[in-house]
Chains A and B, each alone.
Chain A
Amino acid sequence: MKRGTSSALTMTLGIAAFLSLTATVVVGLTLPKTIEQGDYSKLIAIHPGIAWASYVALGVTALASALWLWPRTRSITYDLLAGASAEVAVVFTSLTLITGSIWGRPTWGVWWVWDARLTLSALMLALLLGYLALRRVPAESDVRARRAAVAAMLAVLVVPVNHFAVTWWRTLHQGRSLTQLTPENDLDGSFIFAMVLGFLAMTLVYAWLTVHRLRVARLEESLVDEDLELALEARRREAVLT
């Protein structure tokens, strides 16, 4: 049985992720200063992309959960994928809050405010940690999977609310940048380019991490099966001898 988690897919994803991440950082560092934020606007290259990846991660967890809940597509792989994607989501959500704070301190003047966007992002992290804790509560594997699946489908609701929070409500956090791409607006397009490149790079990093994590989970499952088989064999041998 294969003991590693790498393959042609992960190598391709890994190289693509590395190259696009490098490109993003280089493009980000070469962005011009803006009038309002000076050098700090360079963080647009990575912060929105990291946030985007956290939404994708939680979205995949919810989708995999739905596929598991649907009897026709039920498969342990979807349950494991939901868990794997959630772990990667915790990484990206935490990084979103960290990079955001690093940007906010010099630009807003504070590390944190409880506006709708930041509050919902913190809530998303709490929900993800709760989901991962729920997955560890001992129970029949089917019961565990069902509980987690339902929890994920409820938790994912925070994603669209968070995305539109800056439009629906008054927040300190800026509004959506891509909606600024109109012909009348005389904005420096290199910022939007850097941001979109960041989206691509972070999505690739997310995919690479999740594939590896899913494979580790599957290996763990097959080890459990293997252990069970070995234990049964040992008992059978004992039974024959006595």
Chain B
Amino acid sequence: MATRTFDRRRLRLGIVIAIVCGAMAFLVLKGLGDATTFYRDADEVVAKRDELGTKRFRLQGIVQPGSVRDAGADVEFVVEYHCATVPVRHEGTRPSLFKDGIPVVLEGAFASRTSNVFESDRILVRHTEEYRTKESQKAEATENERCRT
């Protein structure tokens, strides 16, 4: 008799632990929510412009060659991704690797609901898992992500 009660207690404890773990896992995955969408690509941002409004988020795109321009203390440039472009005005420092043609992640927001200029205060350079050593391979690197006209 004693063993049966002991087993039942164990089973109940096991079920409680499993439920608690399941709940924690659900919370963690839900909470990761924003962390799991670390950035939004430029084409996604253009499509969801109204939804995003003036919310702060991270924009990813490739710096359009020739678009970088100094504007006083700020710098202006255009990022593109899958044929969508977003003009950017950045205030603050730039990472040393920042230059034309590289993928960047920008933290900031659109200045207003009607403005199409993304105002950022932080630039992160995005790197892929590919390792290219020849300049000839460079164009290839962002081929899939640029516009094919």
CA distance A169 to B124 in the complex (A): 18
Which residues of chain B have C-beta atoms less than 8 A from A186's C-beta? 137, 140
Would you give the 0/1 interface string for B17-34, flagging 1 where the beta carbon is closer than 8 Å to chain A?
100010000000000100
Which parts of A24-39 form the interface with B (CB within 8 Å)?
A: 32-38
Considering the chains assembled together, what is the distance between the CA atoms of A36 and B8 in angstroms?
60
Q: Which residues 12-52 in B have Cβ within 8 Å of A in the complex?
A: 17, 21, 32, 35-39
B: number of interface residues (CB 8 Å): 32
A174 to B: closest C-beta gap in Å: 4
Smallest CB separation, B11 vs chain A (Å): 15
Contact assessment for A35 and B135 in the assembled complex, using a CB-CB cutoff below 8 Å: yes
Tell me whether B124 and A110 are in contact (CB under 8 A): yes
Option from A32, A150, A170, A175 in Cβ contact (under 8 Å) with B129: A175
Q: Is the CB of B97 within 8 A of A106?
A: yes
> Which of A61-69, A112-120, A129-137 participates in binding chain B?
A112-120
B126 smallest CB distance to A (angstroms) = 6
A19: interface (CB < 8 Å): no
Tell me, yes or no, whether B6 is within 8 Å of chain A by CB. Answer: no
Please, which residues of chain A bring their CB within 8 A of the CB of B140? 186
Inter-chain contact total with CB atoms closer than 8 Å = 92
Contacts of A38 in B (CB 8 A): 97
Residue pair A36, B97 in contact (C-beta under 8 Å): yes
Report the count of interface residues on A (CB-CB < 8 A): 37
Interface residues of A in 91-135 (CB under 8 A from B): 106-110, 113-116, 119
Q: Is B109 an interface residue (CB 8 A)?
A: no
* Interface set, chain B 65-110, CB cutoff 8 A to A: 95-98, 102, 105
Q: Is the interface of A mostly helix, strand, loop or mixed?
A: loop
Chain B residues with CB under 8 A of A172 = 38-39, 105, 124, 126
How far does the alpha carbon of A35 sit from the alpha carbon of B65 in the complex, in Å?
16
A37 to B132, CA, bound (A): 9
Interface presence of A176 (CB below 8 A): yes
Q: In the bound complex, how far is the Cα of B134 from the Cα of A168, in angstroms?
A: 30
Q: Which of B38, B128, B137 contacts A115 (CB 8 A)?
A: B38
Given A116-B32, A116-B38, A172-B105, also A109-B124 (CB < 8 A): yes
Q: Are A35 and B39 in contact (CB under 8 A)?
A: no
Residues of chain B lying within 8 A (CB to CB) of residue A191: 131
A109 partner, pick from B125, B133, B134, B135, beta carbons under 8 A: B125
Contacting pair B32 A107 (CB below 8 A): no
A36 touches B102 (CB 8 A): yes
A195-212 CB contact bits vs B (8 Å, 1 = yes)? 000000000000000000
Q: Is the CB of A119 within 8 A of B35?
A: yes
A179 nearest in chain B by CB position: B129
Are the CB atoms of B132 and A107 closer together than 8 Å?
no
Specify which of B36, B37, B127 is in contact with A36 (CB 8 Å cutoff).
B127
Would you list 8 pairs from A and B whose C-beta atoms are within 8 A, ordered by A residue? A36-B127, A107-B125, A108-B125, A110-B124, A116-B32, A116-B35, A186-B140, A187-B131
Interface residues of B (CB under 8 A from A): 17, 21, 32, 35-39, 95-98, 102, 105, 122-135, 137-138, 140-141
In the complex, given contacts A35-B135, A37-B127, what are 16 additional A-B residue pairs having Cβ atoms less than 8 angstroms apart?
A34-B131, A34-B132, A35-B138, A35-B141, A106-B96, A107-B125, A115-B35, A116-B32, A116-B38, A154-B21, A170-B36, A172-B38, A172-B126, A174-B127, A186-B140, A188-B132
